[in-house]
Chains A and B, each alone.
Chain A
Amino acid sequence: TQLLEQSPQFLSIQEGENLTVYCNSSSVFSSLQWYRQEPGEGPVLLVTVVTGGEVKKLKRLTFQFGDARKDSSLHITAAQPGDTGLYLCAKPNFGNEKLTFGTGTRLTIIP
């Protein structure tokens, strides 16, 4: 089983601060997805990155795929309480698209 390690496991910061969370693996990915999950709900897809070195922006969120396609980061600028949630990275399996999820980063933004 290919493991996706996410760090930090927990992060609690003040509103307005910037933060970065990471997703790492020892293996190369063909693509990587980032999800946010709120309590009592299923994960919601934020972005898919495919090309090594790729950077995608979604409002205040910036996603980067490592050049070697073994790691990814999510940077949030000027965090808001609405950003609170569990952030998960996931690798789609070629063919059946089943997802292998990372361990998650639980983010809390304090107003």
Chain B
Amino acid sequence: DTGVSQDPRHKITKRGQNVTFRCDPISEHNRLYWYRQTLGQGPEFLTYFQNEAQLEKSRLLSDRFSAERPKGSFSTLEIQRTEQGDSAMYLCASSLALRGREQYFGPGTRLTVT
């Protein structure tokens, strides 16, 4: 078990560019969550998947954001036309879909929009 991995770890992009992040969950975990964390704050929920189905999206997830989990394994989070306000740490977590099961977090992707 290698844990949750995220790629890239850091991304610097210019305003207006598109970026895509990848998350590989723990292999047997059927739930996958995305969170965003800005400096000095706790993480905020963005969206989650159970298998390949995206079951909930936060109001934080504007129409410039899209997430997929096509085969119920890895997931991607794409941000189109990035804005400076998108600068944050994007965290992925996975768990089993059972009540009370722990979420395991990846190391995050730190996005800086210049």
Contacts and interface: CB of A to CB of B under 8 A. Distances in A.
**Residue in A42, A92, A97, A104 with the greatest tally of chain B CB atoms within 10 Å:** A42
A110 interface: no
Given A99-B43, A103-B41, A45 B102 contact: yes
**Residue in B33, B103, B107 with the greatest tally of chain A CB atoms within 10 Å:** B103
Nearest to B105: A42
B42 A48 contact: no
Interface residues of B, number: 27
B45 A31 contact: no
B95 interface: yes
Nearest to A31: B100
B48 to A, nearest CB: 6
Nearest to A89: B42
B45 A42 contact: no
B103 A97 contact: yes
A82 B57 CA distance: 36
Given A44-B105, A103-B41, 13 more contacts: A40-B110, A42-B4, A42-B91, A42-B106, A42-B107, A42-B108, A90-B42, A92-B100, A97-B100, A99-B43, A101-B43, A102-B42, A106-B40
8 contacts: A42-B91, A42-B107, A43-B43, A45-B102, A88-B43, A97-B99, A98-B56, A104-B41
Interface of A: 4, 31, 40-45, 48, 88, 90, 92, 96-104, 106
8 shortest interchain CB distances as A-B pairs: A42-B105, A101-B42, A98-B45, A104-B42, A88-B42, A101-B43, A45-B102, A43-B105
